[in-house]
Amino acid sequence: TIAAVFCGLWSRYHRTAFLETKDEHQTAVASLADFATDMFWETDTHGFVIGAGGRLMEGLVSHPRELIGQHYLSIVHLEEREMKRMQAALNAQEPYSDIQSIFRDRDDRIFYISLSATPTFDKDGLITGYLGVGTNVTDRVISARKLKHMAEHDMLTGLANRYRFSDQIKDDLRTADTTGCLSLLALDLDGFKAINDELGHQAGDALLNLVGKRLRSLVRSNDWAARMGGDEFVVVSRGVKNPMEACLLAARLSAKLSQPYRIGGALVEVTASIGIACAPMHASDADDVMKCADLAMYQAKADGRNCYRLFEPSTQTDTLSP
Protein backbone atom coordinates (compact mmCIF):
# COMPACT_ATOMS: atom_id res chain seq x y z
CA THR A 1 0.00 0.00 0.00
CA ILE A 2 1.01 3.64 -0.34
CA ALA A 3 1.16 3.88 3.46
CA ALA A 4 3.45 0.86 3.72
CA VAL A 5 5.80 2.18 1.02
CA PHE A 6 5.86 5.57 2.69
CA CYS A 7 6.68 4.04 6.07
CA GLY A 8 9.57 2.15 4.55
CA LEU A 9 10.99 5.30 2.97
CA TRP A 10 10.45 7.27 6.16
CA SER A 11 12.22 4.61 8.23
CA ARG A 12 15.31 4.67 6.01
CA TYR A 13 15.28 8.46 6.10
CA HIS A 14 15.31 8.54 9.90
CA ARG A 15 18.12 6.03 10.12
CA THR A 16 20.39 8.18 7.92
CA ALA A 17 19.41 11.70 8.87
CA PHE A 18 18.41 13.61 11.94
CA LEU A 19 16.08 16.60 12.07
CA GLU A 20 18.32 19.18 13.68
CA THR A 21 15.68 21.56 15.03
CA LYS A 22 12.29 21.19 16.66
CA ASP A 23 10.70 23.54 14.10
CA GLU A 24 11.98 21.44 11.20
CA HIS A 25 10.67 18.31 12.92
CA GLN A 26 7.19 19.77 13.37
CA THR A 27 7.16 20.86 9.73
CA ALA A 28 8.05 17.33 8.63
CA VAL A 29 5.28 15.82 10.77
CA ALA A 30 2.74 18.29 9.43
CA SER A 31 3.74 17.44 5.87
CA LEU A 32 2.43 13.91 6.45
CA ALA A 33 -1.01 15.28 5.62
CA ASP A 34 0.16 15.39 2.01
CA PHE A 35 0.80 11.64 2.13
CA ALA A 36 -2.13 10.52 4.30
CA THR A 37 -5.28 12.52 3.72
CA ASP A 38 -7.14 10.25 6.18
CA MET A 39 -5.01 10.55 9.31
CA PHE A 40 -1.47 10.71 10.67
CA TRP A 41 0.07 10.71 14.12
CA GLU A 42 3.33 10.61 16.05
CA THR A 43 4.09 9.09 19.45
CA ASP A 44 7.00 9.32 21.83
CA THR A 45 9.04 6.37 23.09
CA HIS A 46 6.35 5.49 25.64
CA GLY A 47 3.51 5.47 23.12
CA PHE A 48 1.93 8.81 24.05
CA VAL A 49 0.63 10.92 21.16
CA ILE A 50 2.65 14.07 20.46
CA GLY A 51 1.13 14.93 17.10
CA ALA A 52 -2.01 14.05 15.10
CA GLY A 53 -4.03 15.28 12.13
CA GLY A 54 -5.54 14.49 8.75
CA ARG A 55 -8.98 14.91 7.21
CA LEU A 56 -10.53 11.77 8.68
CA MET A 57 -8.97 12.46 12.07
CA GLU A 58 -10.71 15.82 12.09
CA GLY A 59 -14.01 14.05 11.44
CA LEU A 60 -13.52 11.50 14.21
CA VAL A 61 -12.64 13.99 16.96
CA SER A 62 -13.59 17.62 17.44
CA HIS A 63 -9.96 18.69 17.53
CA PRO A 64 -6.99 16.39 16.85
CA ARG A 65 -5.19 18.25 19.64
CA GLU A 66 -7.50 16.40 22.07
CA LEU A 67 -5.43 13.28 21.39
CA ILE A 68 -2.18 14.86 22.50
CA GLY A 69 -1.00 13.19 25.71
CA GLN A 70 -3.21 10.11 25.31
CA HIS A 71 -1.63 6.69 24.92
CA TYR A 72 -1.79 5.41 21.37
CA LEU A 73 -3.17 1.98 22.32
CA SER A 74 -6.03 3.62 24.23
CA ILE A 75 -7.19 5.31 21.02
CA VAL A 76 -7.03 2.49 18.49
CA HIS A 77 -9.45 -0.44 18.80
CA LEU A 78 -7.94 -3.71 17.63
CA GLU A 79 -9.10 -7.30 17.52
CA GLU A 80 -6.87 -9.79 19.34
CA ARG A 81 -5.04 -10.95 16.22
CA GLU A 82 -4.31 -7.39 15.08
CA MET A 83 -3.20 -6.38 18.58
CA LYS A 84 -0.69 -9.25 18.65
CA ARG A 85 0.72 -8.14 15.30
CA MET A 86 1.14 -4.59 16.51
CA GLN A 87 2.63 -5.58 19.87
CA ALA A 88 5.16 -7.83 18.13
CA ALA A 89 6.27 -4.93 15.91
CA LEU A 90 6.46 -2.50 18.83
CA ASN A 91 8.45 -4.94 20.97
CA ALA A 92 10.90 -5.46 18.10
CA GLN A 93 10.95 -1.73 17.33
CA GLU A 94 10.06 -2.48 13.73
CA PRO A 95 7.62 -0.93 11.25
CA TYR A 96 4.14 -2.39 10.83
CA SER A 97 1.61 -2.02 8.03
CA ASP A 98 -2.06 -2.67 7.23
CA ILE A 99 -3.19 -3.34 10.80
CA GLN A 100 -6.95 -2.91 10.88
CA SER A 101 -8.51 -0.77 13.58
CA ILE A 102 -12.07 0.32 14.28
CA PHE A 103 -12.94 3.96 14.90
CA ARG A 104 -16.26 5.68 15.54
CA ASP A 105 -17.01 9.25 14.62
CA ARG A 106 -19.06 11.70 16.63
CA ASP A 107 -22.27 10.33 15.03
CA ASP A 108 -21.29 6.80 16.13
CA ARG A 109 -20.62 5.68 12.56
CA ILE A 110 -18.04 2.92 12.25
CA PHE A 111 -14.88 3.37 10.20
CA TYR A 112 -12.27 0.70 9.47
CA ILE A 113 -8.80 2.21 9.29
CA SER A 114 -5.65 0.50 8.02
CA LEU A 115 -2.76 1.58 10.25
CA SER A 116 0.89 1.69 9.17
CA ALA A 117 3.78 3.14 11.14
CA THR A 118 7.53 3.16 11.41
CA PRO A 119 9.96 3.95 14.27
CA THR A 120 11.75 7.29 14.39
CA PHE A 121 15.38 7.53 15.48
CA ASP A 122 17.76 10.20 16.72
CA LYS A 123 21.22 10.86 15.31
CA ASP A 124 22.67 8.12 17.53
CA GLY A 125 20.24 5.53 16.18
CA LEU A 126 18.12 5.41 19.33
CA ILE A 127 14.38 5.13 18.89
CA THR A 128 12.42 8.29 19.69
CA GLY A 129 8.90 7.10 18.95
CA TYR A 130 6.67 6.09 16.06
CA LEU A 131 5.33 7.95 13.07
CA GLY A 132 2.23 6.56 11.41
CA VAL A 133 -0.52 7.03 8.85
CA GLY A 134 -4.05 5.66 8.60
CA THR A 135 -6.08 4.91 5.49
CA ASN A 136 -9.85 4.58 5.40
CA VAL A 137 -10.62 1.04 4.15
CA THR A 138 -14.25 0.92 5.29
CA ASP A 139 -15.65 0.26 1.80
CA ARG A 140 -13.11 -2.51 1.22
CA VAL A 141 -13.89 -4.23 4.51
CA ILE A 142 -17.66 -4.05 4.01
CA SER A 143 -17.37 -5.39 0.46
CA ALA A 144 -15.16 -8.26 1.61
CA ARG A 145 -17.61 -9.16 4.36
CA LYS A 146 -20.52 -9.14 1.92
CA LEU A 147 -18.64 -11.47 -0.43
CA LYS A 148 -17.75 -13.77 2.46
CA HIS A 149 -21.37 -13.86 3.61
CA MET A 150 -22.56 -14.68 0.10
CA ALA A 151 -19.99 -17.49 -0.16
CA GLU A 152 -21.07 -19.03 3.15
CA HIS A 153 -24.84 -18.59 3.09
CA ASP A 154 -27.71 -19.97 1.07
CA MET A 155 -29.11 -17.23 -1.16
CA LEU A 156 -32.69 -18.51 -0.90
CA THR A 157 -33.07 -18.90 2.87
CA GLY A 158 -30.18 -16.87 4.31
CA LEU A 159 -29.08 -19.88 6.35
CA ALA A 160 -25.55 -21.25 6.32
CA ASN A 161 -24.85 -23.31 3.22
CA ARG A 162 -23.17 -26.71 2.89
CA TYR A 163 -19.71 -25.12 2.62
CA ARG A 164 -20.20 -23.12 5.82
CA PHE A 165 -21.66 -26.16 7.59
CA SER A 166 -18.63 -28.31 6.74
CA ASP A 167 -16.29 -25.65 8.10
CA GLN A 168 -18.24 -24.70 11.24
CA ILE A 169 -19.16 -28.22 12.39
CA LYS A 170 -15.48 -29.12 12.67
CA ASP A 171 -14.89 -26.20 15.04
CA ASP A 172 -17.95 -27.14 17.09
CA LEU A 173 -16.84 -30.75 17.41
CA ARG A 174 -13.44 -29.70 18.77
CA THR A 175 -15.15 -28.13 21.79
CA ALA A 176 -17.92 -30.73 22.20
CA ASP A 177 -16.05 -32.56 24.98
CA THR A 178 -15.60 -29.41 27.07
CA THR A 179 -18.92 -27.62 26.49
CA GLY A 180 -21.21 -30.62 26.66
CA CYS A 181 -22.96 -32.71 24.05
CA LEU A 182 -23.28 -31.40 20.51
CA SER A 183 -26.47 -32.49 18.77
CA LEU A 184 -27.03 -32.51 15.03
CA LEU A 185 -30.57 -32.67 13.68
CA ALA A 186 -30.96 -33.62 10.01
CA LEU A 187 -34.31 -32.50 8.53
CA ASP A 188 -35.93 -33.54 5.28
CA LEU A 189 -39.29 -32.11 4.20
CA ASP A 190 -41.96 -34.73 3.53
CA GLY A 191 -43.72 -34.42 0.17
CA PHE A 192 -41.79 -31.39 -1.01
CA LYS A 193 -41.43 -32.76 -4.55
CA ALA A 194 -45.21 -33.03 -4.87
CA ILE A 195 -45.60 -29.37 -3.89
CA ASN A 196 -43.00 -28.38 -6.47
CA ASP A 197 -44.78 -30.41 -9.14
CA GLU A 198 -48.27 -29.12 -8.31
CA LEU A 199 -47.58 -25.45 -7.54
CA GLY A 200 -44.33 -24.85 -9.44
CA HIS A 201 -40.74 -24.14 -8.45
CA GLN A 202 -41.49 -20.54 -7.51
CA ALA A 203 -43.90 -21.73 -4.83
CA GLY A 204 -41.37 -24.34 -3.78
CA ASP A 205 -38.70 -21.67 -3.33
CA ALA A 206 -41.14 -19.55 -1.30
CA LEU A 207 -41.84 -22.54 0.93
CA LEU A 208 -38.13 -23.18 1.51
CA ASN A 209 -37.67 -19.54 2.44
CA LEU A 210 -40.48 -19.76 5.01
CA VAL A 211 -39.02 -22.98 6.43
CA GLY A 212 -35.70 -21.20 6.87
CA LYS A 213 -37.41 -18.37 8.77
CA ARG A 214 -39.13 -20.81 11.12
CA LEU A 215 -35.85 -22.59 11.81
CA ARG A 216 -34.17 -19.31 12.71
CA SER A 217 -37.03 -18.44 15.06
CA LEU A 218 -36.67 -21.74 16.94
CA VAL A 219 -32.92 -22.18 17.39
CA ARG A 220 -31.28 -20.72 20.47
CA SER A 221 -28.73 -17.92 20.19
CA ASN A 222 -25.94 -20.46 20.66
CA ASP A 223 -27.29 -22.77 17.93
CA TRP A 224 -27.41 -22.46 14.16
CA ALA A 225 -29.06 -23.91 11.09
CA ALA A 226 -27.95 -24.68 7.55
CA ARG A 227 -29.55 -25.61 4.26
CA MET A 228 -27.66 -28.52 2.76
CA GLY A 229 -29.42 -28.31 -0.60
CA GLY A 230 -32.89 -29.04 -1.98
CA ASP A 231 -35.28 -29.57 0.93
CA GLU A 232 -32.57 -30.82 3.30
CA PHE A 233 -31.69 -28.81 6.40
CA VAL A 234 -29.50 -29.26 9.47
CA VAL A 235 -29.81 -27.74 12.93
CA VAL A 236 -26.75 -27.79 15.20
CA SER A 237 -27.34 -27.37 18.93
CA ARG A 238 -24.34 -26.68 21.15
CA GLY A 239 -23.95 -27.46 24.83
CA VAL A 240 -26.79 -30.00 24.99
CA LYS A 241 -26.90 -31.74 28.37
CA ASN A 242 -28.18 -35.06 27.06
CA PRO A 243 -29.93 -36.64 24.03
CA MET A 244 -33.34 -36.01 25.60
CA GLU A 245 -32.77 -32.27 25.33
CA ALA A 246 -32.02 -32.74 21.63
CA CYS A 247 -35.24 -34.75 21.26
CA LEU A 248 -37.24 -31.92 22.85
CA LEU A 249 -35.77 -29.51 20.29
CA ALA A 250 -36.70 -31.95 17.51
CA ALA A 251 -40.26 -32.10 18.83
CA ARG A 252 -40.54 -28.30 18.77
CA LEU A 253 -39.14 -28.20 15.24
CA SER A 254 -41.56 -30.87 14.07
CA ALA A 255 -44.57 -29.08 15.55
CA LYS A 256 -43.56 -25.68 14.16
CA LEU A 257 -42.69 -26.86 10.67
CA SER A 258 -45.95 -28.79 10.31
CA GLN A 259 -48.07 -25.66 10.71
CA PRO A 260 -49.60 -24.41 7.40
CA TYR A 261 -47.67 -21.96 5.22
CA ARG A 262 -49.37 -19.18 3.28
CA ILE A 263 -47.91 -18.90 -0.20
CA GLY A 264 -49.70 -16.40 -2.38
CA GLY A 265 -53.38 -16.99 -1.71
CA ALA A 266 -53.03 -20.65 -0.79
CA LEU A 267 -52.28 -22.53 2.41
CA VAL A 268 -49.63 -25.20 1.98
CA GLU A 269 -48.94 -27.94 4.47
CA VAL A 270 -45.66 -29.82 4.77
CA THR A 271 -44.07 -31.91 7.51
CA ALA A 272 -40.51 -32.92 8.32
CA SER A 273 -38.70 -36.13 9.14
CA ILE A 274 -35.90 -35.47 11.64
CA GLY A 275 -32.88 -37.56 12.57
CA ILE A 276 -30.81 -36.83 15.69
CA ALA A 277 -27.16 -37.66 16.41
CA CYS A 278 -25.01 -36.49 19.31
CA ALA A 279 -21.27 -35.99 19.60
CA PRO A 280 -19.15 -37.38 21.06
CA MET A 281 -21.72 -39.98 22.14
CA HIS A 282 -22.50 -41.38 18.69
CA ALA A 283 -19.43 -40.19 16.78
CA SER A 284 -16.73 -37.54 16.98
CA ASP A 285 -15.85 -37.16 13.30
CA ALA A 286 -17.88 -34.61 11.32
CA ASP A 287 -18.73 -36.98 8.50
CA ASP A 288 -19.70 -39.77 10.90
CA VAL A 289 -21.96 -37.53 12.99
CA MET A 290 -23.72 -36.46 9.80
CA LYS A 291 -24.09 -40.11 8.73
CA CYS A 292 -25.61 -40.96 12.11
CA ALA A 293 -28.13 -38.14 11.82
CA ASP A 294 -28.99 -39.15 8.25
CA LEU A 295 -29.52 -42.79 9.28
CA ALA A 296 -31.85 -41.65 12.05
CA MET A 297 -33.70 -39.42 9.59
CA TYR A 298 -34.17 -42.34 7.17
CA GLN A 299 -35.60 -44.31 10.07
CA ALA A 300 -38.08 -41.49 10.71
CA LYS A 301 -39.09 -41.66 7.04
CA ALA A 302 -39.53 -45.43 7.27
CA ASP A 303 -41.64 -45.06 10.42
CA GLY A 304 -44.26 -42.97 8.64
CA ARG A 305 -42.63 -39.51 8.36
CA ASN A 306 -43.60 -36.38 10.30
CA CYS A 307 -41.61 -37.60 13.31
CA TYR A 308 -38.09 -37.65 14.76
CA ARG A 309 -35.76 -40.48 15.65
CA LEU A 310 -32.59 -40.63 17.73
CA PHE A 311 -29.70 -42.55 16.21
CA GLU A 312 -29.34 -46.07 17.61
CA PRO A 313 -25.68 -47.19 17.64
CA SER A 314 -26.71 -50.86 17.32
CA THR A 315 -27.95 -50.34 13.76
CA GLN A 316 -25.76 -49.90 10.69
CA THR A 317 -22.63 -48.88 12.64
CA ASP A 318 -20.57 -50.67 9.99
CA THR A 319 -21.20 -47.72 7.65
CA LEU A 320 -19.18 -45.36 9.85
CA SER A 321 -15.51 -44.54 9.45
CA PRO A 322 -13.05 -46.62 11.50
Contact of 186 with 296, CB cutoff 8 Å: yes
Contact call for residues 165 and 185 (beta carbons, < 8 A): no
* Helix (H) or strand (E) segment spanning residue 244: helix 243-257
3 state SS for 131-179: EEEEEECHHHHHHHHHHHHHHHECCCCCCECHHHHHHHHHHHHHCHHHH
Would residue 294 show up in a list of annotated catalytic residues for this protein?
no
Q: Which of 38, 188, 190, 231 is catalytic?
A: 231
Q: If phi over 0 gives left and psi between -120 and 50 gives alpha, with beta otherwise, what is residue 239?
A: left
Three-class SS of 75-141: CCCCCHHHHHHHHHHHHHCCCEEEEEEEEECCCCCEEEEEEEEEEEECCCCCEEEEEEEEEECHHHH
**Where is 252: in which H helix or E strand?**
helix 243-257
CB-based contact 230:167 (threshold 8 Å): no
E strand or H helix at 313? none
The CA-CA-CA angle for residues 163, 169, 172, to 5°, reads 150
The whole-angstrom separation of Cα 257 and Cα 251 is: 10
**Residues with catalytic roles:** 231
